[in-house]
Amino acid sequence: MAPTDEELRSILTKASTIAVVGVSEKPERDSNEVARYLRSQGYSIVPVNPALPQVLGLRSYPSLTAIPAEVRVDLAVIFRRGEAVPPVVDQAIARGIPAVWMQLGVQNPEAAKRARAHGLAVVEDTCSMAAHRRLKLPPAAPRP
């Protein structure tokens, strides 16, 4: 079931810090472009890629659970194949991240169902950058 615009708006306006799972260091890749866009819109970005020590000048972590506990993550944006999503969802649940967003072309109905059962907001097969632009959201407010 696709989320409504109001649900998308709620997820994006409540978020201040976004973990981008599967972000690439290559500027031409969608994951890098989306991370740069979200950063330009005022979100704090936490790169997650076990193969990279740094992305966009920011320290990259090998997993959501490797991000220091004092870093509150509000949203995990997932750039991984559908079959790789379940462990990411499990990590989001373990960390208490309130929402997971599977990018365009990424779906995993079982992982989505598990996330929802644990109270997480879930978006599948939708580009977060395109949704943000379409909804004409203002820049993210910094966390106090």
Q: Tell me, what's the pLDDT at 138?
A: 84
Q: How far is 6 from 4, CA to CA, in rounded Å? A: 5
CA dihedral (118, 109, 28, 132) positive or negative: negative
From the list 53, 11, 16, the residue with the least C-alpha distance to 141 is 16
| 143 within some domain | no
User: pLDDT per residue over 84-134, tens digit each?
Assistant: 999 999 999 999 999 999 999 999 999 999 999 999 999 999 999 999 999
| 57 within some domain | yes
| 35 within some domain | yes
| 120 within some domain | yes
Q: pLDDT tier at 1 (50, 70, 90 boundaries)? A: low
pTM: 0.95
User: Which CATH number characterizes residue 64's domain?
Assistant: 3.40.50.720
Instruction: Please count the structural domains in the chain.
Output: 1
Residues spanned by the domain of 12: 5-134
| 31 within some domain | yes
Percent of the chain at pLDDT > 70 equals 97
| 139 within some domain | no
Whether pLDDT at 60 is above 70: yes
Q: How far is 35 from 40, CA to CA, in rounded Å? A: 9
- What average pLDDT does the structure give for the chain? 95
